[in-house]
Amino acid sequence: MTQAQERYDDIIIGAGSAGAVIAARLSEDPKRRVLLLEAGPDYTRVEDMPRDLLKPWVSWRDHDWGFQANARHGREFPLHRGKVMGGSSAVNGTIALRGVPGDFESWVDLGCDEWGFADVLPYYRRLESDPEGGDFHGQSGPVPIEREPSENWQPLQRAFYDACIGGGFEDVWDHNLPDATGVGPWPRNRSNGNRISTNIAYLLGIRDRENLTIRHGVLVDRLSFDGESGARVNGVVLSDGEVISGERVCVSAGSAVSPAILLRNGIGPAEKLSPHGIAQRVPLPGVGENLIDHFGTGVQAFPKPEVAHDPDVVTEIGVRYTAPGSDQFNDMQLAISTIWDEEQVRGLTEAPRQHPSFGIGAVIQRPYSRGSVTLRSTDPSEQPQLDMNYASHPEDLRRLMDGARLCWEVMHSDAIMPFVERVIAPRASVMESDNALADYIRRTTSTTWHICGTAKMGPSTDPLAVTDQRGRVHQTENLRVADASIMPDIVSCNTNLTAIMIGERVAESLLGE
């Protein structure tokens, strides 16, 4: 890694699921000078990484932005985002799912005709190393994919599988086949028991490239432009005032921070800018709009004291299914989470924060509800305002009510009940009343940390489109956004693998210019 250079060909803001990929791919061209900026800490060897970055449950304590979000009507909860090299890929639950063909048909319907399933499949395959998956999967990509063999499933996970099979769900070994639906082991970005982030997969082996500069612990304040009112980007300005010049800038700071960076630079709707005294540079009303997340509810219980449990592995098995009455394939997930740590229960339910506990949750994968991101101030160290607007659409509420009743049924199945000491939330009476259940869902529905869509791509005729299909910000020059924020609609699965895929695809586009 070289020392800072006077001017770079490409500056990437954010070394997360997409940004690390883009820096790695662009720096394969030795003629390109690439700068990767990350606000969090950097770990350059696996041996030096803290345990919480390697073990496959969510790491929240030391590598988190500390954001709070408004679920709805002022109810706040922690919205964890990775603040570390590798971003949220370094702290997530390691579930490595692809979107299904119907997800990308919706992208095409929204004007992104270069993002059909046949278009994105090669990039999913490029990132994967999934030799168990057969020819439909990549065999030699940087991200290893593995599934827990059934003989290793923990008792509660095995019981959940048995309950779901008994309830009529099909057995699924590979959830990443396009038509797979039912219950089986989650594919996970793990190797030898460790979480494989984009830092490990893409960056650790290329740190000696002469044309790649990686800087950590730096916070980007704003972009640098040609002229006071121009829209041609020529670099970035850090929070300490340092100016770094670049031919192109790619914002890959995530679905909360990327729109905030654009807004601080006057790119967005006037009503979001004027309260902070920001002059509008580019009138793009979609910046910060279209905030989408997977949100859910469920049933929580205390297990019997003798139940065996590995605290590092909480989600081995899961269900992808279509909600009754829905026309969207695999628009729901059902999973058991053996969360035996009070910190990891925070925000999931309003049950007592005691442990040990476990939950069976239903999570809506194709919601209609939309939220927004706005600025709280022009200070880059202050978090943006995140309004999630969960379950505001009646169809979302209907599907979650159905999902909550399914969770209750599975929790009380013959397979699971022998492990249960006491169900702690909700009360049985809640399940007997539509009004009570709807109220429970509104009070407890929370995140699975899959926010996206806040700088959606689409044609310039779409009033909410922020970028074109290559991530180029409309009405600007030399500026891209490339991360989960450009998804025009959410995929019906955990979003991390799709964010990495976006990084692969945008990087190829940049290399072609």
List strand residue ranges (DSSP E) for 338-411, in order: 358-364, 372-374, 385-387
The secondary structure of 187-214 as a DSSP string is: PBSEETTEE--HIIIIIGGGTT-TTEEE
* DSSP three-state, residue 12: strand
Compute the distance between CA of residue 281 and CA of residue 261 in angstroms, rounded to an integer: 13
Compute the distance between CA of residue 326 and CA of residue 332 in angstroms, rounded to an integer: 10
Q: In the numeric block, which tokens belong to residue 170?
A: 């099909």
Catalytic residue among 63, 294, 450, 474: 450
Tell me 288's DSSP state.
Answer: T
Tell me 150's DSSP state.
Answer: G
Does 276 qualify as catalytic in the annotation?
A: no
Angle at 248 between CA 246 and CA 253, to 5 degrees: 100
Phi, psi angles (nearest 5°) of residue 4: -55, 140
Give every CB contact of residue 256 below 8 A, 6+ residues apart in sequence. Answer: 65, 67, 79, 81, 373, 383, 384, 386, 451, 454
Q: In the numeric block, which tokens belong to residue 98?
A: 């692809």
| CB < 8 Å & 24+ apart, contacts of 100-106 | 100/178, 100/179, 100/329, 100/330, 100/491, 100/492, 100/493, 101/178, 102/328, 102/329, 102/330, 102/492, 103/366, 103/489, 103/490, 103/491, 103/492, 103/493, 106/488, 106/489
Q: In the numeric block, which tokens belong to residue 402?
A: 């159905």
Is 111 within 8 Å of 458 (Cβ atoms)?
yes
To which H or E segment does residue 299 belong? strand 295-303
Q: Report, as residue numbers or ranges, the catalytic residues.
A: 450
